[in-house]
Amino acid sequence: MLVLITYDVNTEDNAGKGRLRRIAKQCVNYGQRVQNSVFECLLDAAQCKVLQSKLLEIMDKEKDSLRFYYLGKRYETKIEHFGVKEGYKPEGTLMI
């Protein structure tokens, strides 16, 4: 299933800046950054729970915000993209 993960981390102090980096690093391990604090991740249910658990351990629930949007398996019909940075196909071939 495709999961859209968004976050807002309070970076007023160094601890917040560290949380921001750690959350972004975890998200990069599981998906593709599509905007600064937005990731598209192609996950199964177990991977989703593992990632969610990791992110919840990092975030400060009193200062930060984390959202998971579950777009499912038929996500292609639920996404429209306009402007720069063309979209990508999560299930497509990745060339490095």
* Domain parsing of the chain, residue ranges: 2-74
Question: The domain 2-74: what is its CATH number?
Answer: 3.30.70.240
pTM: predicted TM-score of the whole model, two decimal places: 0.80
* 39 class by beta-carbon count within 10 Å (0-12 exposed, 13-18 middle, 19+ buried): buried
Instruction: Give the pLDDT of the chain (96 residues) as one tens digit per residue.
Output: 999 999 999 999 999 999 999 999 999 999 999 999 999 999 999 999 999 999 999 999 999 999 999 987 777 667 766 777 666 566 665 545
